[in-house]
């Protein structure tokens, strides 16, 4: 292993990636090994390092303590290998009478507090109960959306009496019949990739409840916009199911069929009209990409570009199929990205988790629920991965403990 004292800036970069703290790369881009070992709490009180995390750099400082221990032990191993047998100077075999050897040994002993498993765990606690609540919230919002779609469907004007509204995109591009199938295939691919990535994340309970809360809130907003403004069908190609005129039994069957099919046209479960403002497909295409990019290493640029391409092509195909007005897609993209960015900005800054007059984010209606979900999370969640259902000892395989340094 290369000595830390000989590390270049590239080695520090690799170490930060390995430890799951890429957010410090820009702030420490000109830092070499010796400068890294000299970092202390004072450095985390001044820019640019102080701007990276709201926890005062506690996570990085704990990793540095472990790195110093490993570096200290490696230095002593090298000392013994170079002829300093038994801890005696110059390889001699006789202890010095005046006791100077004991003084040197005591001076070489360095007391470094070792971060324990409990300390590391409290920064990002596993709270599956809260994740379960967020999941139930998302399910309720999704079911409510389906119910609202069935209600709005009864109010959609017949296309023969109310033709589609003018749309500039429709003027420029003719309808492509198979385009919407491409959109839904891309959406399923992105959801599948995100599901696999989420299962492999170390802090999946925290990230999972963030996803469930955001997607649930987006669909709840969608319930409101669909209900208050019912737009006519975007194209004459739509074949809407007949209206039931108060037959709740058949209407419930439609709702259950749509839920079972995931609300996808490709599964034949979505035959109702009226759910236009705003686009649920755009929400999922955008949100899954944002989560994939946020919680995967920055060096996976090819993976990010691939997922971005799936998302962008899917959104373009929505419009190309003339299954949504352009305003439906624009509003969906705007609300999805803003809610994602607002939530993560609040979650990454400890000061924004506290109610105050200067914190205007605390005035949003879901702030109390946000505080409940994020109150025990300290700082930016690292992009660490591990196999699911692994043994606890494997969780902390990198956090090696050393009881003492024996120098004889």
Annotated catalytic residue within 328, 344, 395, 406: 328
Is 203 known to be catalytic? no
Helix (H, G, I), strand (E, B) or coil at 229: coil
Q: How many CB atoms lie within 10 A of CB 2?
A: 10
The β-bridge partners of 201 are 385
- Encoded tokens for 283: 């929400």
Please tell me the distance from the alpha carbon of residue 64 to that of residue 246, in angstroms, as a whole number. 67
User: What are residue 385's phi and psi, to 5 degrees?
Assistant: -125, 150
Q: Tell me which residue has tokens 């080695």.
A: 11
Sequence-separated (6 or more) residues with CB below 8 Å from residue 407: 76, 87, 105, 108, 109
What 3-state DSSP class applies to 259?
Answer: helix
The one catalytic residue in 203, 270, 281, 322 is 281
Establish whether 324 is a catalytic residue: yes
Cβ-contact 175, 320 below 8 angstroms: yes
d(CA 354, CA 302): 38
- DSSP category for residue 385: B
Q: Which of 153, 270, 322, 324 is catalytic?
A: 324
- Distance CA(267)–CA(341), nearest Å, equals 32
| Residue 281 among the catalytic residues | yes
Judged by DSSP in three states, 201 sits in strand
Beta bridge partners of 385: 201
Residues 119, 64, 400: CA angle, nearest 5 degrees? 60
| Rounded Cα–Cα distance for residues 30 and 13 (Å) | 10
| CA 406 – CA 367 distance, rounded (Å) | 53
| Distant-in-sequence, close-in-space partners of 159: CB < 8 Å, separation ≥ 6 | 232, 233, 236, 238
Please provide residue 126's backbone torsions phi and psi, each rounded to the nearest 5 degrees: -85, 110
Share in percent of the chain as helix, strand, coil (round to 5): 60, 0, 40
* Active site residue ranges: 281, 324, 328
């Amino acid at each position: 292993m290369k000595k830390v004292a000989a590390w270049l800036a590239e080695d520090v970069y690799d170490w930060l990636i390995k430890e799951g703290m890429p957010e410090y790369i820009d702030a420490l881009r000109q830092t070499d090994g010796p400068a890294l070992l000299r970092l202390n709490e004072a450095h985390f009180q001044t820019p640019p390092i102080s701007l990276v995390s709201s926890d005062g750099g506690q996570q990085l400082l704990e990793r540095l303590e472990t790195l110093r221990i490993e570096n200290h032990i490696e230095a002593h191993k090298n000392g013994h290998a170079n002829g300093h047998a038994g801890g005696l100077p110059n390889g001699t075999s006789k202890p010095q009478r005046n006791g100077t050897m004991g003084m040197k040994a005591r001076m070489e002993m360095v007391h470094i507090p070792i971060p324990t498993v409990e300390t590391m765990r409290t920064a990002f606690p596993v709270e599956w109960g809260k994740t379960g609540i967020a999941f139930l919230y998302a399910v309720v919002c999704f079911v409510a959306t389906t119910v609202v779609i069935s209600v709005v469907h009864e109010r959609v004007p017949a296309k023969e009496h109310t033709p589609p509204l003018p749309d500039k995109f429709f003027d420029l591009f003719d309808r492509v019949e198979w385009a919407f199938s491409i959109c839904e295939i891309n959406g399923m691919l992105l959801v599948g990739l995100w599901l696999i990535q989420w299962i492999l994340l170390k802090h999946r309970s925290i990230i999972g409840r963030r996803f469930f809360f955001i997607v649930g809130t987006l669909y709840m907003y969608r319930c409101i916009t669909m209900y208050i403004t019912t737009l006519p069908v975007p194209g004459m190609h739509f074949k809407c199911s007949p209206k039931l005129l108060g037959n709740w039994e058949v209407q419930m069957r439609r709702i259950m069929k749509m839920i079972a099919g995931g609300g996808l046209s490709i599964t034949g479960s979505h035959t109702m009209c009226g759910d236009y403002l705003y686009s649920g497909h755009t929400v999922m295409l955008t949100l899954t990409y944002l989560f994939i990019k946020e919680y995967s290493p920055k060096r996976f640029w090819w993976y990010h570009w691939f997922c971005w391409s799936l998302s962008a092509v899917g959104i373009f195909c929505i419009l190309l199929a003339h299954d949504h007005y352009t305003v439906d897609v624009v509003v969906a993209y705007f609300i999805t990205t803003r809610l994602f960015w607002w939530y993560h900005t609040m979650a990454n800054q400890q000061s924004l988790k506290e109610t105050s007059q200067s914190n205007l984010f605390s005035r949003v209606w879901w702030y109390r629920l946000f505080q409940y979900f994020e109150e025990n999370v300290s700082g930016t969640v690292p992009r660490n991965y591990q196999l699911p259902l692994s043994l606890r000892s494997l969780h902390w395989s990198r956090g090696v403990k050393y009881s003492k340094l024996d120098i004889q």
